[in-house]
């Protein structure tokens, strides 16, 4: 019976290889996961401690602001002219460079000129009073029954007292 246990232990592989694997896995975790994360945390702390009034910052909630005052654990940010709010330093995600545009999305949000629409396939989304007049003219031409179905139903106003209580 004792010889069977010895044969089973020898067929399992070398002990040196198992020891090498046991030491290699934690080293891989350290160099691929732990070390880069601690480096990022250190850079973030240095950035937060180096903030000075007048710097443009981006918060973790996505607001762009200007630093007005720096305290030990917090900062005062001006998010609009005359609007100042207090944040903890950890809420600052990055310090923006001076050459970055203030609002990156505004260029995309501006309406296009009529001259930009070469094909004439654009849709006019403006609300005009003329639209209601043409809808009434079409309703007279189609008939009274179909006109009621085609008209959009108005919204009903609900008072706060009409809401069911939980």
CATH class of 52-105: mainly beta
Tell whether pTM > 0.85: no
Q: How many helices (H) and strands (E) does the chain have?
A: 6, 5
Nearest to 59 by CA among 48, 73, 50, 49: 48
pLDDT digits (tens, 9 = 90+) for 105-161: 555 555 555 455 556 677 777 787 655 555 555 555 555 555 555 555 666 655 555
Q: What share of the chain has pLDDT > 90, as a percent?
A: 35
- Cβ-Cβ contacts under 8 Å for 135 (sequence gap 6 or more): 151
């Amino acid at each position: 019976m004792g010889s069977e246990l010895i044969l089973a232990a020898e067929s399992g592989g070398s002990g040196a290889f198992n020891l090498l694997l046991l030491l290699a896995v934690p080293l891989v975790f350290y160099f691929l996961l732990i070390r880069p994360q601690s480096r990022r945390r250190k850079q973030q702390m240095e950035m937060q401690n180096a903030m000075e009034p007048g710097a443009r910052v981006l918060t973790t909630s996505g607001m762009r602001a200007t630093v007005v005052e720096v305290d030990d654990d917090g900062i005062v940010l001006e998010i609009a002219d005359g609007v100042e709010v207090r944040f903890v330093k950890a809420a600052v995600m990055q310090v923006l460079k001076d050459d970055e545009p203030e609002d990156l999305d505004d260029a995309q949000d501006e309406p296009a000129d009529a001259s930009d629409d070469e094909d004439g396939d654009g849709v006019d989304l403006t609300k005009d009073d003329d639209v209601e007049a043409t809808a009434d003219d079409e309703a007279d031409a189609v008939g009274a029954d179909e006109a009621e179905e085609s008209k959009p139903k108005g919204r009903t106003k609900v008072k706060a007292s009409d809401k069911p209580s939980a």
